[in-house]
């Protein structure tokens, strides 16, 4: 009998701004808030960034599902642009007790491996710590994500607080 492959899911957190170890900014890389919310943009980035990493939880979402998702007051979406060209995005969700989840973070395929990930993540983390009342930033990644994702998060100051093993989807 064959067993299903297993993936590890790592839950990480940063509890203090002082833990942040930023990478220097990349010249020409700017991050802008998506305002007003744009469900088509979130959908497009979810597919474009996540397809290689097997992001599947939103594949069945309708246009209305996307609209309802982005219209929540607790969600902010940011787009990174390098010299005016979109390179990646991240979604921040404010939660109870000062927690903020980085729900999704990633670069478009053409910009992976070009030295942008650490700087872009540093920018995302600075944005979170600027939110009033932030006491904790958390996220999760897994062994199906980019091979350097976990290291990038840890290099920026995140610590693993839980690891789960689950069948690969």
For the chain, the structural domain boundaries read: 6-167
Strand locations in 3-147, DSSP E? 6-14, 29-33, 75-82, 85-94, 99-107, 136-142
Read off the tokens for 100: 């903020």
Sequence-ordered list of residues with C-beta below 8 angstroms from that of 113, at least 6 positions apart, any chain? none
Spell out the CATH class of 6-167. Answer: alpha beta
- Give the pLDDT mean for 23-45: 97
- pLDDT of 29 above 70: yes
- 163: which 2 tokens? 């690891």
pLDDT band at 128 (very low <50, low <70, confident <90, very high): very high
Residue with the two structure tokens 């007003």: 36
Give the DSSP H/E element, type plus range, for residue 155. helix 149-155
Looking at residues 68-92, what average pLDDT do you find? 98
Is the model's pLDDT at 2 over the cut of 60?
Answer: no
On the question of pLDDT at 1 being above 50, the answer is no
What is the pLDDT confidence band of residue 103, given thresholds at 50, 70 and 90?
very high
- In degrees, rounded to 5, the angle at the alpha carbon of residue 83 between the alpha carbons of residues 24 and 130 is 50
Q: What mean pLDDT value characterizes the chain? A: 95
- pLDDT of 168 reads 78
Res 54: pLDDT: 84
Say if residue 61's pLDDT is above 70.
Answer: yes
* Mean pLDDT computed over 53-77: 95
**Percent of the chain at pLDDT exceeding 90:** 89
Contacts of 130 (CB under 8 A, 6+ apart): none
User: Is the distance from CB of 160 to CB of 15 less than 8 angstroms?
Assistant: no
| Model confidence at 83: pLDDT above 70 | yes
| Per-residue pLDDT at 3 exceeds 50 | yes
What proportion of the chain, given as a percentage, has pLDDT over 70? 97
What does the pLDDT read at residue 169?
A: 66
pTM for the full predicted model: 0.94
- What average pLDDT does range 106-115 have in this prediction? 96
**Pairing assessment for the beta strands 99-107 and 136-142 based on DSSP bridges:** parallel
């Amino acid at each position: 009998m064959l067993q299903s492959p297993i993936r590890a899911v790592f839950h990480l957190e940063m509890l203090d701004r002082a833990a942040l170890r930023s990478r220097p900014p990349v010249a020409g890389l700017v991050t802008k808030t998506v305002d007003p919310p744009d469900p088509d943009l979130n959908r497009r980035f979810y597919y474009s960034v996540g397809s290689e990493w097997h992001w599947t939880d939103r594949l069945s979402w309708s246009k209305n599902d996307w609209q309802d998702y982005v219209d929540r007051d607790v969600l902010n979406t940011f787009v990174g642009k390098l010299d005016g060209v979109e390179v990646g995005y991240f979604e921040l969700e404010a939660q109870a007790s000062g927690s903020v989840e980085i729900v999704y973070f990633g670069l478009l395929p053409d910009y992976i491996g070009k030295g942008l990930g650490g700087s872009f993540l540093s920018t995302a983390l600075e944005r979170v710590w600027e939110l009033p009342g932030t006491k904790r930033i958390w996220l999760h990644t897994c062994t199906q994500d980019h091979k350097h994702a976990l290291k990038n998060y840890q290099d920026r100051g995140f610590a693993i607080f839980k690891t789960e093993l689950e069948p690969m989807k």
